[in-house]
């Protein structure tokens, strides 16, 4: 199926796309067909800056299992940071 299930957040940071590093302005998280991953549906994340054009995008397509593990890893890493660092 083609879903339109999407979460968008504003982003501050940088990503490295096909043309090198660029400043991020948005992150889109959505569930849909992957372009490359070998699965019917994946959790897709686009780190992007639309003002810099379509190619200012870092894309990942993750299985649901990997996506959930990633969420935990990010939370664990941030929680383990020394006080005042982040």
Partner 1 sequence: MNEALTAETVTITGNSGDEIEAYFARPQGQDSFAGVVVIHHMPGYDSAMKEIARKFAAHGYAAAMPNLYYREAPGASPDDAAAIARANGGVPDERLVGDVAGAADYLRGLASCNGKIGVIGYCSGGRQSFLAACSLQLDAAVDCYGGAVVNVPQGAPASMKPLIGLAKDLSCPLLGLFGADDKFPTPEETAELSQVLDGFGKAHEFHTFAGAGHAFFSVDRAAYRVEAATEGWAKVWDFFGRYLAG
Q: Does 5 bind partner 1 (CB under 8 A)?
A: yes
**Residue choice 11, 27, 28, 62 for contact with partner 1 (CB under 8 A):** 28
**Residue choice 3, 21, 23, 51 for contact with partner 1 (CB under 8 A):** 3
Q: Does 16 bind partner 1 (CB under 8 A)?
A: no
Q: How many residues bind partner 1 (CB under 8 A)?
A: 25
Contact 62/74 with Cβ under 8 angstroms?
no
């Amino acid at each position: 199926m083609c879903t339109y299930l999407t979460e968008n957040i504003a982003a501050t940071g940088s990503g490295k796309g096909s043309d090198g590093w660029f400043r991020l302005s948005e992150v889109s998280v959505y569930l849909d067909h992957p372009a490359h991953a070998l699965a019917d549906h994946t959790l897709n994340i686009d780190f992007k800056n639309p003002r810099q054009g379509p190619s200012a995008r870092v894309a990942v397509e993750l299985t649901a299992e990997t996506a959930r593990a990633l969420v935990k890893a990010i939370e664990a890493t941030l929680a383990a940071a020394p006080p005042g660092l982040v």
